[in-house]
Amino acid sequence: MIYGQLVAFPGGFTIKEEIWIEKYRPENLDDIVGQDEIIKRLKSYVKTRNLPHLLFSGPPGVGKTAAAIAIVKEIFGDTWRNNFIELNASDERGIDIIRHKVKDFARMAPLGEADFKVIFLDEADALTGDAQSALRRTMERYSATTRFVLSCNYSSKIIEPIQSRCAVYRFKPLSSKAVSKRISFIAGQEGLKVTDGGMGAIEYVAGGDMRRAINALQAAALIGDQVDEDTIYQITSTAKPEEIKSFISTALSGDFVAARGMLDDLLLSKGLSGEDVVIQIHRAMLDLDIPDKDKVKLIDRIGEVDFRMTEGANERIQLEALLAYFALSKS
> In this predicted model, what pLDDT tens digit does every residue of 278-289 receive, in sequence order?
999 999 988 888
**Averaged pLDDT, 66-91:** 86
The answer to whether residues 61 and 159 belong to one domain is yes
pLDDT digits (tens, 9 = 90+) for 67-79: 999 999 999 888 8
C-alpha angle with apex 29: 27 to 30, nearest 5 degrees?
95
Per-residue model confidence (pLDDT) at position 205: 92
Confidence of residue 107 (pLDDT cuts 50, 70, 90): confident
Which CA distances in Å does 33 have to 106, 173, 176, 292?
Answer: 32, 11, 11, 34
The overall longest dimension of the chain from CA atoms, in Å, is 75
C-alpha angle with apex 209: 206 to 215, nearest 5 degrees?
65
Per-residue model confidence (pLDDT) at position 173: 92
Confidence of residue 90 (pLDDT cuts 50, 70, 90): low
What distance in Å separates the CA atoms of residue 276 and residue 120, rounded to the nearest whole number? Answer: 33
What distance in Å separates the CA atoms of residue 284 and residue 5, rounded to the nearest whole number? Answer: 41
The answer to whether residues 251 and 205 belong to one domain is no
Residue 300 lies in a domain: yes
Per-residue model confidence (pLDDT) at position 325: 93
Domain stop point among 135, 170, 205: 170
Question: How many CB atoms neighbour CB 82 within 10 A?
Answer: 12
Residue 303 pLDDT greater than 60, yes or no: yes
Confidence of residue 160 (pLDDT cuts 50, 70, 90): very high
The answer to whether residues 194 and 302 belong to one domain is no
Residue 54 lies in a domain: yes
C-alpha angle with apex 277: 276 to 281, nearest 5 degrees?
120
C-alpha angle with apex 133: 105 to 152, nearest 5 degrees?
75
CATH number of the domain residue 204 falls in: 1.10.8.60
The answer to whether residues 199 and 290 belong to one domain is no
The answer to whether residues 47 and 134 belong to one domain is yes
pLDDT digits (tens, 9 = 90+) for 201-253: 999 999 899 999 999 999 998 888 899 999 999 888 889 999 999 999 999 99
Residue 270 pLDDT greater than 80, yes or no: yes
Amino acid at 4: G
Confidence of residue 11 (pLDDT cuts 50, 70, 90): very low
Residue 261 lies in a domain: yes
Per-residue model confidence (pLDDT) at position 282: 93
Strand pairing of 167-170 and 193-194? Answer: unpaired
The answer to whether residues 212 and 123 belong to one domain is no
Domain stop point among 235, 265, 286: 235
Residue 17 lies in a domain: no
What distance in Å separates the CA atoms of residue 70 and residue 30, rounded to the nearest whole number? Answer: 9
Is 63 in contact with 171 (CB distance < 8 Å)? yes
Per-residue model confidence (pLDDT) at position 179: 93
Per-residue model confidence (pLDDT) at position 6: 45
Residue % of the chain over a pLDDT of 90: 50
The answer to whether residues 254 and 307 belong to one domain is yes
Per-residue model confidence (pLDDT) at position 4: 47
Is 183 in contact with 24 (CB distance < 8 Å)? no
Per-residue model confidence (pLDDT) at position 94: 67
Q: What is the mean pLDDT of the chain?
A: 87
Number of domains in the chain: 3
Residue 12 pLDDT greater than 60, yes or no: no
The answer to whether residues 86 and 108 belong to one domain is yes
The answer to whether residues 163 and 179 belong to one domain is no
Per-residue model confidence (pLDDT) at position 3: 43
Question: How many CB atoms neighbour CB 58 within 10 A?
Answer: 22
Domain ranges, residue 196: 175-235
Residue 113 lies in a domain: yes
Is 184 in contact with 191 (CB distance < 8 Å)? no
Domain stop point among 170, 187, 215: 170
Is 192 in contact with 224 (CB distance < 8 Å)? no
The answer to whether residues 41 and 161 belong to one domain is yes
Is 268 in contact with 238 (CB distance < 8 Å)? no
Per-residue model confidence (pLDDT) at position 162: 92
Per-residue model confidence (pLDDT) at position 17: 56
Residue 99 pLDDT greater than 80, yes or no: no
